[in-house]
Amino acid sequence: MATKRDYYEVLGVAKKASKEDIKQAYRKLAMKHHPDMNKDNAKVAEERFKELSEAYEVLMDDDKRARYDQYGHAGVESTFRQGGFDWSDFTHYSDISDIFGDFGGFGGSIFDQFFGRSRRGPQEGRSLRYDVEVSLDEIAKGAEKELRIPRTVTCQTCGGHGAKHGDYKTCPTCRGSGQVQRGQRRGNTNFVTIAQCPTCGGSGKQITRECSDCRGTGYSQTTSNIKVSIPKGAEEGMRLRIRGAGEHSPNGGPPGDLYIIVHTAEHPSLIREGRDLFTEVPVSFTQAALGAEVDVPTLDGTAMVTVPPGTQTGTVLRLKGKGLPDMRGRSQGDLYVRVSVVTPSRLNSQQKDILKHFGESVGDYQKSAPKKSFFKGFGKEN
């Protein structure tokens, strides 16, 4: 399998590029590599166009871009349905339409070929995004969530037509076609742009009496209760797609989709890094010096961990298999415990004398400041 190129390199933009810079770069390159502009080498152009669109999809989405910047291509694979980019994952349909809308001669074919629908036909409704926080316990075991999603749906009274009892007439602007044509000359070439009729919105009909429930819009606002299954071992930023649970279509097309983005809720004592968990346990000076067994928090309650004699602050101990499962159920992450030695802050005179004698006995107690510089060994001297 060929190694994927860096998305920023694909679009020829800097890593700090703004969304406007990214869109301009995509527009320029998409026009250049459109298959209809490269008929002698259409197959190569098609692959290049898809590569550009994949990079555009990731870099124009704040969530995907953040994960790509941190983890590279591996950070965004889970956002694609097949584990790799497919045209059904492309969510910037309107941007494509904007880019090719003024080039009617070959603009339509790109939608039929790649998206499986014409830009002049019924459009799919807008997709919705819902971010949900899931606890570590729910991620470890899997969970069912019931979400309340506000969205627009087709008006049940008029069936989405917007007219009362079907009271509408043929649109006088487009004469029922739903489309208007506009000619434009550029140099020695005439372009004909075919666009949606602005009067009827592409329906070909004009309402004479509005539906009283939706007031002619064809849709109404509602809140849907949707159940979603959070899989065991769900990854941070995982995207779950529920088809048809998005916004209604403005001109009779299918509704959009709902995308559930999974986030790990903050835990009082555990931190997640992939499948591994991290925590910190305080131990006393005596426990660190002599060794001890202490309780540490886990997803199953508490577990006993052995602190070896002479343990220093920052020592990390591992509890194998006490992390999170992977989504395939093939392996289990680990729990890493960082030891923090707590220095006593309130000592009585007897305790101070004991510590003083102890320090003298091991040779680490000094009445005067050490002569050796603290910075020696770090390349610095006072």
53 falls within a domain:
yes
pLDDT in tens, 208-228: 788 877 877 777 888 889 999
220 falls within a domain:
no
Cα(231)–Cα(86) distance, integer angstroms: 23
Q: Return mean pLDDT, the chain.
A: 80
**CATH number reported for the structural domain that contains residue 37 in this entry:** 1.10.287.110
Cα(168)–Cα(208) distance, integer angstroms: 5
Q: What percent of the chain has pLDDT over 70?
A: 79
33 falls within a domain:
yes
pLDDT at 232: 92
Asked which of 119, 147, 170 is the last residue of a domain, the reply is 119
List the domain range (segments joined by +) for residue 301: 271-362
pLDDT at 369: 46
158 falls within a domain:
no
**CATH number reported for the structural domain that contains residue 295 in this entry:** 2.60.260.20
User: Which of 50-59, 101-110, 191-200 is modeled with the greatest confidence?
Assistant: 50-59
Average pLDDT over residues 190-214: 75
pLDDT at 365: 52
pLDDT at 118: 42
Q: Apex CA 251: angle with CA 245 and CA 252, to 5°?
A: 60
Mean pLDDT is lowest, of 112-116, 135-139, 289-293, for 112-116
Q: E-assigned strands of the chain? A: 128-134, 143-154, 168-170, 179-186, 189-196, 205-207, 219-230, 239-242, 258-264, 271-273, 276-284, 292-298, 301-307, 316-319, 335-342
Asked which of 119, 147, 163 is the last residue of a domain, the reply is 119
28: phi then psi, degrees, rounded to nearest 5: -65, -45
Q: Into how many domains does the chain fold?
A: 2
pLDDT at residue 108 tops 80? no
Average pLDDT over residues 69-94: 73
Average pLDDT over residues 86-92: 71
59 falls within a domain:
yes
pLDDT in tens, 306-359: 999 999 999 999 999 999 998 887 889 999 999 999 988 888 999 888 888 888
What band does 116 get if pLDDT is binned at 50, 70 and 90? Answer: very low
pLDDT at 161: 72
40: phi then psi, degrees, rounded to nearest 5: -75, -20
H-assigned helices in 115-187:
136-141
Cα(378)–Cα(279) distance, integer angstroms: 29
52 falls within a domain:
yes
Tokens standing for residue 147:
């979400």
pLDDT in tens, 5-47: 999 999 999 999 999 899 889 988 887 887 766 767 778 888 8
97 falls within a domain:
yes
179 falls within a domain:
no
pLDDT at residue 381 tops 60? no
User: Which of 145-154, 164-173, 290-299 is modeled with the greatest confidence?
Assistant: 290-299
Cα(200)–Cα(163) distance, integer angstroms: 12
